[in-house]
Amino acid sequence: MSSPFLNIRWFLINSGRGDSVWMSRTNLAFGLTFFVVRVVLYTLGLAHMALALPRILELQVLPTTSLAAIALLLCGGYALNLMWASKIWAMAMGKKKGGKRAPEEMAKQS
């Protein structure tokens, strides 16, 4: 859901419209959809999977090692999304990596 906004953002930046109103709107749409889908819904999905795990194992649809590999990959994807969410949050708050403010922000405060 958030990827189309990420692609639009890339297009705006590379076509010289990185400071436009559309860029601000696209950033907002990207951030909101990323958070809702890749953090909130992914969290709920993993919780649902954990609650359903006894029933899934009982059905014996796949070997236990395959189910463990799938669960591990899903958890790895979740960790990756949380890492990106923290970076997106830092960008949205006008900060660079490491929690330091971007030079533009510091110049505005001077």
Per-residue tokens: 27: 């950033």
Contact 12, 26 (CB under 8 A): yes
Prediction pTM value: 0.70
DSSP tag of 15: T
Contact 34, 95 (CB under 8 A): no
Per-residue tokens: 40: 């909130």
Q: Which pLDDT score is estimated for 95?
A: 61
Q: Is the pLDDT of residue 25 over 50?
A: yes
DSSP tag of 97: T
What beta strand segments (E) does 9-88 contain? none
Which residue did the predictor score with more confidence, 101 or 20? 20
Q: Which pLDDT score is estimated for 101?
A: 47
